[in-house]
């Protein structure tokens, strides 16, 4: 279905407006509860995606009992519904909205940010598909006052894209298209701006290198290690985790990865994967297991799904 026809495009715009308005009117706890219900419903009806997630969890965390693997996947779906409903609350962000919701955001590991900042250079932020990741962008910029570049694949529907990037220019975040965003991103980081990248999904050998994660072969995007080596920039891992009450979020910095003269791109990429794996093991139910991470290395993992 083409969602960019004038009628459907306008309908999506109206739905986003109505839902984002309702999201701000309804008490947040109740609103996010309905998001969790949507996640439960999707877990029931999206059989293929449920099976992809189960295959990934079994492949990566096979030492866990089968029931625990299923529980991780079910919670994963529930949280995706919560994140979607949380996103709607930020569809039309203002300074007032950010201020009001700041009490729900906690930072940890701030000393690691300070270590990276003291290099006096642009910072390469390494993150993954955990939680409502746009909260990292918004509150990182708000707290640090730094400019942030974000390379992403744009949505097919421009109204969805507008909702996702509504805060871009207002809050100092530059959303750059995946197809042509690397050149301006490099220009900006050499001027002292920061860049955030998600290298935790499937890649290819044009953009990545052979590496491992969970002890499994996994071609991994090597952009951050390449930039770190080329420009002498720190790689600062940062992840967002939703708390047990499903209302508060914690943005956690890990120790920065510094590119030494002896470090190869492959070595740095493995260090990158190691910290991503560490974050996943901390909160396995919060990583995006629905993605076919090993579709190139082990395609048969998903054929039976």
pLDDT digits (tens, 9 = 90+) for 156-199: 666 666 666 665 667 788 888 877 889 999 999 999 999 999 99
The residue written with tokens 């409502």 in the block is 132
Residue listed under structure tokens 């009806």: 45
> Measured between alpha carbons, how far is 238 from 128 in angstroms, rounded to an integer?
8
- Residue 175: its pLDDT value, please? 84
Dihedral sign for Cα atoms in the order 103, 104, 109, 113: negative
Question: Is the separation of the CB atoms in 248 and 237 below 8 Å?
Answer: no
Nearest residue to 85 (alpha-carbon basis) of 19, 13, 129? 19
The maximal CA–CA distance of the chain, rounded, in angstroms, is: 57
- The pLDDT value recorded for residue 15 is 87
Mean pLDDT for the stretch of residues 203-232: 97
Q: What is the pLDDT of residue 3?
A: 56
Mean pLDDT lowest among 15-24, 34-43, 236-245 = 15-24
Task: Name the packing angle between helices 6-25 and 66-89 (round to 10°).
Answer: 90
With a threshold of 0.85, does the pTM exceed it? yes
pLDDT score for 157: 66
Indicate if the alpha-carbon torsion angle 269, 273, 278, 282 is positive or negative: positive
- Reduced to 3 states (helix: H, G, I; strand: E, B; else coil), residue 150 is strand
Distance CA 117, CA 115 (A): 6
- The enclosing H or E element of 250 equals strand 249-253
d(CA 41, CA 56): 21
Place of tokens 């952009």: 223
β pairing state of 208-209 and 124-126: unpaired
Using CA atoms, how far apart are residues 210 and 148, in angstroms rounded to an integer?
A: 28
208 vs 226: CA distance, rounded Å: 10
- CB-based contacts of 138: which residues, under 8 Å, 6+ apart? 90, 93, 98, 167, 171, 173
pLDDT at 104 (0 to 100) = 96
Q: What percent of the chain has pLDDT over 90?
A: 78
Who wins on pLDDT, 52 or 94? 52
Which domains does the chain carry? 6-302 (3.40.1130)
């Amino acid at each position: 279905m083409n969602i960019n026809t004038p009628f459907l495009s306008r309908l999506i715009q109206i739905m986003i407006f109505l839902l984002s308005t309702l999201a701000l009117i309804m008490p947040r706890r109740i609103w996010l509860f309905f998001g969790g219900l949507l996640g439960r419903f999707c877990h029931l009806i999206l059989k293929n995606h449920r099976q992809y997630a189960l295959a990934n969890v079994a492949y990566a965390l096979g030492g866990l009992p089968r029931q625990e693997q299923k529980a991780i996947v079910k919670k994963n779906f529930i949280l995706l519904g919560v994140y979607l409903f949380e996103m709607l609350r930020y569809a039309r962000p203002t300074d007032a909205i950010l201020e009001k919701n700041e009490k729900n955001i906690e930072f940890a590991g701030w000393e690691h940010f300070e270590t990276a900042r003291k290099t006096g250079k642009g910072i390469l932020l390494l993150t993954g598909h955990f939680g409502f990741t746009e909260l990292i962008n918004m509150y990182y910029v708000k707290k640090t006052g730094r400019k942030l570049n974000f390379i992403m694949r744009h949505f097919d529907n421009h109204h969805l894209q507008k909702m996702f990037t509504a805060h871009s220019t207002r809050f100092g975040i530059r959303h750059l298209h995946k197809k042509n965003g690397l050149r301006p991103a490099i220009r900006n980081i050499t001027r002292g701006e920061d860049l955030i990248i998600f290298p935790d999904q499937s890649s290819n050998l044009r953009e990545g290198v052979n590496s491992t994660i969970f002890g499994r072969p996994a071609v991994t995007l090597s952009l951050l290690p390449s930039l770190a080596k080329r420009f002498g920039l720190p790689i600062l891992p940062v992840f967002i985790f939703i708390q047990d009450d499903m209302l508060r979020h914690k943005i956690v910095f890990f120790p920065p990865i510094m590119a030494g003269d002896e470090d190869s791109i492959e070595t740095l990429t493995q260090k990158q994967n190691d910290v991503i794996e560490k974050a996943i093991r901390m909160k396995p139910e919060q990583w995006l297991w629905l993605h076919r991470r090993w579709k190139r290395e082990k395609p048969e993992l998903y054929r039976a799904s």
